[in-house]
Amino acid sequence: MAEDSGKHLEVALVAAEQVVWEGRAKIVIARTTEGDLGILPGHAPLLGLLQGGTVQVRTVDDEYFVAAAPDGFISVANNRVSILAENAEMGHDIDLEEAKRALDQALSTGTDSEEEQEHVRLAEARVRAAEKAS
């Protein structure tokens, strides 16, 4: 395994209360406050703030998944990618129709407070992740 360690990424997607997914990947794509970021093996170290709500992963087995992770941090060092988010959920686990209803409800309550804005960001991320996963 040490021989091929430069050919893949060790990825951990962690929410506040649980590990959502961890494994080996060929590429991780995320949007940060600096823009879209594609991370391949050998990527330079970085620490960034997530923005945009979804993280995409292509595993070493060529499986593809999308996760909702509306706010959080991404860290890359030594072919290890850590994604830390208060809320994170696999797109294939999200019911798209329920997510759309939750988004409509969040938008109808308004976006005046930071809490309401956070609720809208989470709802939007869940819809995007569910749409990309289907």
Question: Domains along the chain?
Answer: 2-90 (2.60.15.10), 92-133 (no CATH)
pTM of the predicted model, to two decimals? 0.87
Q: What is the pLDDT of residues 31-84, one digit of tens each?
A: 999 999 999 999 999 999 999 789 999 999 999 999 999 889 999 999 999 999
Distance in angstroms (rounded) separating the CA atoms of residues 8 and 88: 23
Give the span between the Cα atoms of 34 and 83, in whole angstroms: 16
